[in-house]
Amino acid sequence: MALFKLDENLPVEATELFQAAGHDALSVLDQALGGHPDDILAAICQQEQRAIVTFDLDFSNIRTYPPEEYFGIVVLRLEHQEKSHVLEILGQLILKLYDEPLAGKLWIVGETSVRIRG
């Protein structure tokens, strides 16, 4: 089981998807953190030892957010962002978590690939 914080730019059902797979997942909105700056959100994720899952490309900047300092950063780079498609990709991502460690890594997730840095 891993700990996740899902950004406000993800469907609310995404949190339920992670929880159904046995992960401890909270959304930014669950904690009334909507609209907070990225650096505040990143610091909270570090404190809570949670990986962040987001569409926010700022989190893919390894100079600003060095992966080794976090419990995981997952940035979605999807061509289509319809809710059903996002949830499908997240379901595939959850399966990949069983094979690949997330802590200290940056995962860039596309429709057909996952690039891992760190």
pTM attached to this predicted model: 0.94
Give residue 72's domain range.
3-117
pLDDT on residue 34: 81
Please report, for the domain that includes residue 72, its CATH number: 3.40.50
- Please state the domain count of the chain: 1
Rg value, the chain, Cα: 13
Q: Is the pLDDT of residue 98 over 90?
A: no
Burial tier of 38 (Cβ tally within 10 Å: 0-12, 13-18, 19+): middle
Q: How confident is the model at residue 13 (pLDDT cuts 50, 70, 90)?
A: very high
pLDDT averaged over every residue in the chain: 94
